[in-house]
Structure 1
């Protein structure tokens, strides 16, 4: 009887532990669903830019936890730090002729941003050149632009190709892609962490979840952002009087510079060069009349 009673007590305790685990898991899953639902509901569907001649109409979801003002303030601080660091290394605007050239091209493109969002005309735009062999350029939220000398020198850019680069980078800022990515990642991170905890998967499970999200949704969304920036960029360049077809030769040069060492498109944050070129052939043709009117 004692043995039987011990066995019954042990079985009851075990059943109790299982029940408690199930209740805890259910509570976590319910909490996670509620938090996620709240995060999704709280996200605002917006259209950060107008459609332009290219017909851009994708809706974006932005989290109120990631505000435009916060990102612009952070960008202002980060940009100042980068410029200060470059200056300390004697790498800021080293070549006056190159700096003047970049600022001249940017100076023609920036007045065209009103075609997509008139408020951007009032941004505190800044344009600087960093001496570096890196093939890179970027535009932070709020219109903080940097172009690396390497991309100009190594690709032997024409002004039209430089306009394609500047138009593309400015487009990211106009479209608030940085804010959109931060909003997506905040929502996805909440789901993954709570879901992993609810299923008892721990940190390893959360890591796997983040990898799965990145390869199935995150990378695809980044490629969408790149394509949008390409399309907006050629329109901005065309409106400024630069040949939009130069974006095609730009990416042909970029493909040649990569020497075939590109990441497979489905694992990349950027479309493949061939995909970009095909899309740019289409969209540069669509905005060619704008170039022809601006540059008869």
Structure 2
């Protein structure tokens, strides 16, 4: 028998075997329908209208409420002209999310209502964060949350975690309302954040930052002072000339990572992509 004829018969037999109960031949899966392993959560459809998405780091979730309940609205102290709020909430990290929120405020017609740094043991020595945006139009709140989630994936680049604690640095050439709300940053000025844990590490990093360049100390927070929620870290914020602030932050990073290594630790960037 001709080989081509045999192959044709076998193909018809296979089709008959593969028929389902309705008598239809199962269609071949389209490559367009195959779900990729890595999907950005912000692009994943959700039946819950309040859910906006997540960032890749810090157990960070973004939410929105189109029309806040009147009693809650009053207790939260939100201006009456704002009915919609955007929410960034996370378990690990505060600096990355606040820096990202600062970029979100610059890019949208929103206002920062509040920023809180809750103590969260999942973050080891550090904080979580609760950030609230407000706007007249829910689309603005949603957009602010989307921008913050995306930028959080960038700002985690200079967070270095290790078993004994963490080293965390942040820098922006132009601070806006989120950084002003959280740390008293001068709006429109260059601004840096230096964090070290355990707290003693942070003290040395702070000293190095201030000695390195001509910068002004905006705030100092220790475990019992400055709003750290008694976390085991020291946080300073600085302002000044853009180049000087950046140089100070980099110097603090170098000494912090060096001490961590001397402790037998292996500090690594959370994302593998430092941004400063």
Determine if the TM-score, normalized by the shorter chain, exceeds 0.5.
no
Higher RCO by CA contacts (8 Å cutoff, separation 6 or greater): 1
More strand by share: 2
Query: TM-score, with normalisation over the residues of structure 2?
Result: 0.31
More helix by share: 1
